Amino acid sequence: MLRFGHMALPGPLKRFFCSIANATTVLLNPTERVITIKNATNEDKKMHFPLAWLRDNCPCPVCYSASSELRNLKMMDFCPRVNAVSVQMSEQSESMTVSWDDGHSSSYRLEWLRAVAFGADTAGRQRPPLTRNRPVLWCDASKATAPICSLKRTTHYGETFEMRAEAKPRNLGYTSDRLDFHTDLPYMHEQPGVQALLCQVQASGPGGDSLFADGFSAAEHIRRSRPDLFRLLTTVPVRFRDRGQLADRRFDLVATHATIELDCQPDGEWCYRRVHFSNQQRDLLQAWPLADVQLIYDALKAFNDVIEGRDISSDSSKVQLQVKLRSGEMALFDNSRLLHSRTGFSGERQLAGAYLLWDEVLSRRRTLESQLQIGRQD
- Cβ atoms within 10 Å of 300's Cβ, excluding its own: 24
Residue 168, judged by CB atoms within 10 A of its CB (0-12, 13-18, 19+), counts as exposed
Which of these three, 115, 149, 181, is where a domain ends? 115
Residue 147 scores a pLDDT above 90: no
| Residue predicted with more confidence, 162 or 373 | 162
CATH number of the structural domain spanning residue 183: 3.60.130.10
Q: Is the dihedral of CA 54, 62, 275, 174 positive or negative?
A: positive
99 and 219 belong to one structural domain: no
> Residue 216 — pLDDT band, cuts 50, 70, 90?
very high
Predicted local confidence at residue 23, as pLDDT: 62
**CA dist., res. 345 & res. 207, Å (int):** 4
Residue 126 scores a pLDDT above 70: no
101 and 164 belong to one structural domain: no
Predicted local confidence at residue 320, as pLDDT: 92
339 and 209 belong to one structural domain: yes
57 and 181 belong to one structural domain: no
- Domain assignment present for 245: yes
| Closest alpha carbon to 243 in 227, 259, 255 | 255
Q: What are phi and psi of 294, to 5 degrees?
A: -60, -45
| Closest alpha carbon to 358 in 331, 329, 336, 330 | 336
At position 192, the amino acid (one-letter code) is P
245 and 358 belong to one structural domain: yes
Predicted local confidence at residue 83, as pLDDT: 97
200 and 327 belong to one structural domain: yes
164 and 111 belong to one structural domain: no
> Structure pTM?
0.82
Q: Is the dihedral of CA 278, 279, 280, 285 positive or negative?
A: positive
Sheet holding 84-89, edge to edge: 84-89, 95-100, 105-109
CATH number of the structural domain spanning residue 109: 3.30.2020.30
Task: Report helix, strand or coil for 205.
Answer: coil
At position 82, the amino acid (one-letter code) is V
- Domain assignment present for 92: yes
Task: Report helix, strand or coil for 317.
Answer: helix
Please state, in angstroms and as integers, the Cα–Cα distance from residue 42 to each residue in 22, 24, 25, 80, 290, following that order. Answer: 10, 10, 11, 31, 21
- Domain assignment present for 187: yes
Predicted local confidence at residue 339, as pLDDT: 97
- Domain assignment present for 47: yes
Q: What is the pLDDT of residues 72-115, one digit of tens each?
A: 999 999 999 999 999 998 877 789 999 999 999 999 999 999 99
186 and 250 belong to one structural domain: yes
Residue 336 scores a pLDDT above 70: yes
The per-type count for the chain, helices as H runs and strands as E runs, is: 6, 22
Alpha carbon 363 to chain centroid distance? 32
Query: The domain containing residue 50 runs over which residues?
Result: 24-115
Which of these three, 82, 99, 115, is where a domain ends? 115
Quick one: what percent of the chain has pLDDT higher than 90? 59
239 and 343 belong to one structural domain: yes
- Domain assignment present for 12: no
Which of these three, 115, 143, 175, is where a domain ends? 115
For the chain, the residue count is: 378
Count how many domains the chain has: 2
- Domain assignment present for 89: yes
Within 26-166, residue ranges assigned H as helices are 51-56, 110-116
202 and 332 belong to one structural domain: yes
Predicted local confidence at residue 160, as pLDDT: 86
111 and 164 belong to one structural domain: no
228 and 346 belong to one structural domain: yes
Predicted local confidence at residue 316, as pLDDT: 64
- Domain assignment present for 154: no
- Domain assignment present for 287: yes
